Chains A and B, each alone.
Chain A
């Protein structure tokens, strides 16, 4: 990605040494201070003994990792994976046609505005709005009761369904935007070519559109799956005990049990699971397009042109 910088730098400095590193210095500094150092602290904490009132005592132990190996933790992890996969899948299934429609529409600016309007309101306030709609005395129940469709309030909230619904709602724009920007660059005459060669409407989309917007789909997946996997506020506010997720577990260990090493160990597990998942996906997708699609979804998500000679 910073190859042009390399060349420009070589010319500017006229030195024999590769000066590219200099240009990367700000981002290296940023990543070190705000990512690598905290990560190192978390790793270190996870191998220590919990302090009496939070914090750690610097006595090395594997207690935190032994504590992870219990059924409660496995149950929460499984629930987290299910919710994350389910909510991501639903989000993508809704986002794909939305992105397609936006790319083909003549009123793209308006539609883009509509997708982004939710960002103008605070995330927590939007969750509370869902509570106001779905609650036992919420808008939806009032409506159902008034229409006589139900006799008593339906319990919409505090279960896994509510968590999924609000997660999908929250992360839909993050999936629509990269999909829209990728599909917008797609050459729609390819769909006509597919129809011409005998494909049905759906066949043309499956065989020609989807493979060519793979990069956008991957980006949309990463933009939704990773934050959902670490979700905390949504399951806390609209979930019940059965929809408890890893994010909530970490918060509880930190604030209630005051077991910082265990919280650190759990968050490392989340980091590890998502990293491995992302790497596998990237590999399956052909590694060359990864940096571009994850890093610059809006500008580069498509990566439709495989580098000549780079085909596998």
Chain B
């Protein structure tokens, strides 16, 4: 085994460059000219709905599928010609794919046995990696005797023991229940911190992707729509799809009325004039889509005093209040009939405002800095 990883103390793993990769299954275009650059040691997520091509891309990196065109470079070397067993990349499979006839120990030892490592090394290494995933006590069990979370951890240990430079994770938490998923997510994150190699994580769950990724690529219909940090993806979605797919949002169309610096005044279809932010403001008269996150809107019974310039205020009536424990969601209908979603965290002792109930007339206010232009339609 090469020990290259140990020389570079700070960042291990490989960078992965995907260039113009195309892949179809019959008439279905799974990947349409996909290019992504993934940095060394990064926790990178491929996020998108099912059928968006994220798993196909992962399988191409692993070597289980070959694309019709393009290149996959690991540390600058094209690996497309190499079979899966020759790539220094390991996979954690969606259904774990543990070998049912082998014990936990032998599952983890599988790749060491393949290259005929001496028994002493096998014992030490397997013990080390079982400890990493806290499964020492279960070494002699068969996979059928393990819980879902334990199987998941065996799969992770088995994939890591070969010291790959990239770990591919194919929806590794999708088979677990919600609570366990949260727990395993935190564990994955801490394993990534300890091992320090590149993780490529495929998921359709935006919450998972947002909470652990260094960067995320949002995919849909075989295309990459946006690559960015979780904050960038959430706060400044590049397309309508990204805005709607990540978190909850309000997405509307409007015409650009005037531009001053990065602040753009929109003539909206249902709320009157609204000020929003755009890093590259479109020309006056453009048709655009704009978005404001529900939690960035303040809801109150009184008209806000527009102390600062750039606060938008909209009047409406509560159509539907939805209580969900730590927060409430309100669907507020403006006079024009358009509905805005608003999320209000539940009050602590300092909040003296009255309860907001069904059919209350309310005022919504939000800052121009929190509202963004997403797409320019024409």
Contact = CB atoms under 8 A, between A and B. Distances in A.
Interface string B45-89: 000000000000000001110000000000000000001110001
B215 interface: no
A196 B144 contact: no
A195 B100 contact: no
Given A196-B85, A196-B90, A305-B144, A190 B99 contact: yes
B95 interface: yes
Contacts of A207: 110, 114
Interface in B133-148: 141-142, 144-145
B85 A200 contact: yes
Interface residues of B, number: 27
A71 to B, nearest CB: 45
A308 B111 CA distance: 26
Given A305-B144, A306-B142, A308-B145, A199 B101 contact: no
A287 to B, nearest CB: 16
B85 A195 contact: yes
B93 interface: yes
Given A192-B93, A196-B62, A196-B85, A208 B111 contact: no
A192 B145 contact: no
Given A195-B83, A211-B101, A304-B100, A189 B95 contact: yes
B162 interface: yes
B158 interface: yes
Contacts of A195: 63-64, 83-85
A212 interface: yes
A194 interface: yes
Contacts of A189: 93, 95, 97
Interface in A278-312: 304-306, 308-309, 311
Interface string A177-196: 00000000001011011111
A198 B145 contact: no
Contacts of A304: 100
B325 to A, nearest CB: 38
A192 B84 contact: yes
A214 B102 CA distance: 13
Given A196-B85, A196-B90, A203 B100 contact: no
B231 to A, nearest CB: 33
A198 B64 CA distance: 13
Nearest to B155: A193
A308 B97 contact: no
B179 interface: no
B97 A192 contact: yes
B100 A194 contact: no
Looking at chain A's contact residues, is the secondary structure mostly helix, strand, loop, or mixed? helix
A198 B101 contact: no
A306 B145 CA distance: 9
B115 interface: yes
A193 B97 contact: yes
Nearest to A197: B111
B206 interface: no
A214 B101 CA distance: 10
Contacts of B91: 192-193, 196
A304 B143 CA distance: 12
A20 to B, nearest CB: 28
Contacts of A187: 95, 97
Nearest to B115: A198
Contacts of A193: 91, 93, 97-99
Contacts of A208: 99, 101
A308 B114 contact: no
B141 to A, nearest CB: 8
Contacts of B115: 198
Contact of A194 (B89, B110, B141, B144): B110
B144 A306 contact: yes
Given A196-B62, A197-B114, A311 B85 contact: no
A203 B85 CA distance: 11
B142 A311 contact: yes
Contacts of B145: 308-309, 311
Contacts of B162: 197-198
A199 B85 CA distance: 6
A192 to B, nearest CB: 6
Nearest to A193: B97
A208 B100 CA distance: 9
Interface in B287-333: none
Most chain A beta-carbon contacts within 10 A, residue among B63, B101, B145, B159:
B101
B80 to A, nearest CB: 16
A33 B100 CA distance: 42
A194 B83 CA distance: 12
B84 A212 contact: no
Contacts of A198: 85, 111, 114-115, 162
A86 B114 CA distance: 31
A113 to B, nearest CB: 26
Interface in A244-301: none
B85 A212 contact: no
A289 B89 CA distance: 37
Nearest to A210: B101
B84 A196 contact: yes
A309 B141 CA distance: 9
Interface in B95-153: 95, 97-101, 110-111, 114-115, 141-142, 144-145
Nearest to A201: B83
Given A194-B110, A214-B101, 19 more contacts: A192-B91, A193-B97, A195-B64, A195-B83, A196-B62, A196-B84, A196-B85, A196-B91, A197-B90, A197-B158, A197-B162, A198-B115, A199-B114, A200-B85, A203-B114, A211-B99, A304-B100, A306-B100, A306-B144
Interface of A: 187, 189-190, 192-200, 203, 207-208, 211-212, 214, 304-306, 308-309, 311
14 contacts: A189-B95, A189-B97, A193-B98, A194-B99, A195-B83, A196-B84, A196-B91, A197-B162, A198-B85, A198-B114, A200-B85, A208-B99, A306-B144, A308-B145
Interface of B: 62-64, 83-85, 89-91, 93, 95, 97-101, 110-111, 114-115, 141-142, 144-145, 158-159, 162
What 3 pairs across the A-B complex have the smallest Cβ distances?
A: A193-B97, A197-B111, A211-B101
